[in-house]
Each structure stands twice: as structure tokens, then as C-alpha cells.
């Protein structure tokens, strides 16, 4: 039976094929891309860090916010102390675009995470060419060889890698490739259901000097404290921030400032 994730990936592959350019041309774009900012170091800074997301819509909630100026929103996130800005570039389900990322990258001085469904080698190169500093690799969307190869390629071209997991089997696969940043997503991408217990169940199982990120469903200070207790070093928040009248206040509230 086809899942929501399967449907999203099918659309992503169609869109990648439609916009694809020859690799030599893409490599030329990479040579002209802005210098990489260290995403790992930004998240490793003392205290709980937040990855603040520019997100217009989602498959589970539909339209979330009208974001006419993503660069301005990202600047407000940066001013409020965000460590990293996440920019959705998937268009069909999330209303994002590569143009959003380029605009945001030019407006802030902190690292940018390209939030998309990376399922081809081409997208790894494309992520760097767009000026992103971090890339998302979703374990559920990739084979073991893809996961290993895409992480190695990402690191080779200077990108920090956020490896996303949803269960113990996926977490084992992430640790097998020695992922340095592991995100536990409380939302099951196959059903879109939120399972808050994922944080308390999976974050403590992440071993070594890895950065642990709690993703999805976070809207209260109590949830942040719970994730931190489980071992989270950072949280990724989108919906709560884009729906807030004052995103800076929302960030400060979540971080207890």
C-alpha cells in the first residue's frame, strides 16, 4: 500500500527530473556558491538551540501561513536567537521553493538547512549550489547505500548532515553510518500521525558525541523541557513559529528566555 511518504517522493522525483541541468553546470554553480557556514558548530553551541523553519503548508495541516517575505521572517528568527534557519523547498505539499532558500541565505548570517526530500545524488549537489549549509537525509526515504553515499558526498562538498529517524530500526541505521546530527521526528511520515513519546523513547538511545534534535509537534515550553530531559540539544520548530503573531516571542517562550 502506498504511503504519504511514497506519494511525496514520487512528486519530488518528477520535479527533480523537470528542473535537472547537466552536472558540469551544477558544479560551476557550486564553485560560485557562498562559503559554507558551520551548521554543526551552530547547533553545538552552549544551551538548547532552535532550528526555526520557514514553512507555508504541510500535508497534515494544509496551509499554515502566508509568507510573502521569507527573508524578513528569517531575519526575525535570527534576531530572536535561532541557531539555524530551516527552509522548505518542496513545492507540492509544503509550498516551498528554491527561491525561498536563496532569498533567506542572502538575508541572514546563520546556517541554512535545506528541508526537502533528498532522494537523488543530484539533489545533494543542488543543495550546495543553492547556498545551503545543512542537508536533510530522511532514513525512511533512502536505502542503506543511498544513506551512506549521500552523507559522504554531502560532507565532501562541505555540508553538515541532519539525519532524520522515526523508530529504533531507523536510528540503528543512522548510527551505523556515524551520523553526527540525528533528528528524531515525532511525526510518522507514512501516516502523518504525531507520536510525542518518540522523543523520550529514541533520544536517550543516541550514543556518542552526536547532536540530538527533536523535530515536529513542539508548541509549548513543557514539551521543550521534556525533549531536553530526554537528551535533545536542539529543537526544530515550524508551525508554531509561522502561526505566531510574534515569532521572536514564540522562540523566547519555547527556550524559556
Please state, in angstroms and rounded to a whole number, the distance separating the CA atoms of residues 81 and 91.
Answer: 27
CA geometry: angle 88, 94, 99, nearest 5 deg: 45
Domain positions in the chain = 4-254
Beta strand 57-58 with 62-63 is: antiparallel
Question: Cell for 7?
Answer: 506519494
Q: Report whether 133 contacts 111 (CB < 8 A).
A: yes
Domain 4-254 in this protein, CATH class: alpha beta
Asked if residue 60 has pLDDT above 80, the reply is no
Asked whether residue 34 carries a pLDDT value surpassing 80, the answer given is: yes
130 CB neighbour count, 10 Å cutoff: 22
216 noted as active-site residue: yes
35 tagged catalytic: no
Per-residue confidence (pLDDT) for residue 257, from 0 to 100: 87
DSSP-derived 3-state class of residue 31: helix
The catalytic residue among 215, 228, 233, 239 is 215
Contacts of 206 (CB under 8 A, 6+ apart): 171, 175, 182, 184, 212, 231
- Tell me, what's the pLDDT at 241? 94
Placement of cell 542537508 in the chain: 135
- Given the residues 58, 98, 185, 188, the one annotated as active site: 185
Q: Could you confirm whether 215 is annotated as catalytic?
A: yes
Higher pLDDT, 245 or 81: 81
Q: What is the pLDDT of residue 191?
A: 81
pTM of the entire structure?
0.95
Inter-CA distances, 171 with 80, 152, 177, Å: 31, 18, 10
In the residue annotation, 164 being an active-site residue is answered as yes
Q: Is 229 a catalytic residue?
A: no
Catalytic residue among 78, 164, 170, 228: 164
From the candidates 115, 126, 170, 228, give the one annotated as an active-site residue. Answer: 115
pLDDT mean across residues, the chain? 94
Mean pLDDT of the 28-48 span? 96
Q: Is 53 a catalytic residue?
A: yes
Contacts of 225 (CB under 8 A, 6+ apart): 256
List the catalytic residue out of 90, 188, 216, 239. Answer: 216
Amino acid at each position: 500500500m502506498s504511503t504519504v511518504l511514497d506519494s511525496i517522493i514520487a512528486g519530488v522525483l518528477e520535479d527533480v527530473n523537470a528542473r535537472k541541468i547537466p552536472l558540469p553546470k551544477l558544479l560551476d554553480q557550486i564553485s560560485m556558491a557562498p562559503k559554507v557556514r558551520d551548521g554543526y558548530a551552530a547547533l553545538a553551541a552552549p544551551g538548547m538551540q532552535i532550528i526555526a523553519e520557514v514553512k507555508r503548508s504541510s500535508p497534515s495541516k494544509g496551509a499554515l501561513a502566508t509568507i510573502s517575505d521569507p527573508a524578513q521572517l528569517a531575519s526575525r528568527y535570527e534576531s530572536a536567537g535561532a541557531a539555524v534557519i530551516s527552509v522548505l523547498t518542496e513545492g507540492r505539499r509544503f509550498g516551498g521553493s528554491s527561491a525561498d532558500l536563496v532569498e533567506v541565505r542572502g538575508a541572514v548570517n546563520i546556517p541554512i538547512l535545506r528541508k526537502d526530500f533528498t532522494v537523488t545524488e543530484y539533489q545533494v549537489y543542488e543543495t550546495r549550489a543553492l547556498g545551503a549549509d545543512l542537508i536533510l537525509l530522511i532514513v525512511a526515504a533512502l536505502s542503506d547505500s543511498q544513506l551512506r553515499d549521500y552523507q559522504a558526498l554531502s560532507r565532501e562538498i562541505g555540508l553538515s548532515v541532519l539525519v532524520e529517524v522515526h523508530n529504533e530500526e531507523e536510528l540503528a541505521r543512522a548510527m551505523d553510518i556515524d551520523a553526527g546530527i540525528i533528528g528524531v521526528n515525532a511525526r510518522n511520515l507514512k501516516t502523518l500521525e504525531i507520536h510525542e513519546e518518540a522523543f523520550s523513547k529514541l533520544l536517550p538511545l543516541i550514543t556518542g558525541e552526536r547532536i540530538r534534535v527533536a523535530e515536529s509537534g513542539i508548541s509549548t515550553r513543557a514539551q521543550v523541557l521534556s525533549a531536553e530531559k530526554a537528551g535533545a540539544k536542539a529543537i526544530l520548530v515550524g508551525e508554531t513559529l509561522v502561526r505566531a503573531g510574534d515569532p521572536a516571542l514564540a522562540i523566547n517562550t519555547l527556550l524559556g528566555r
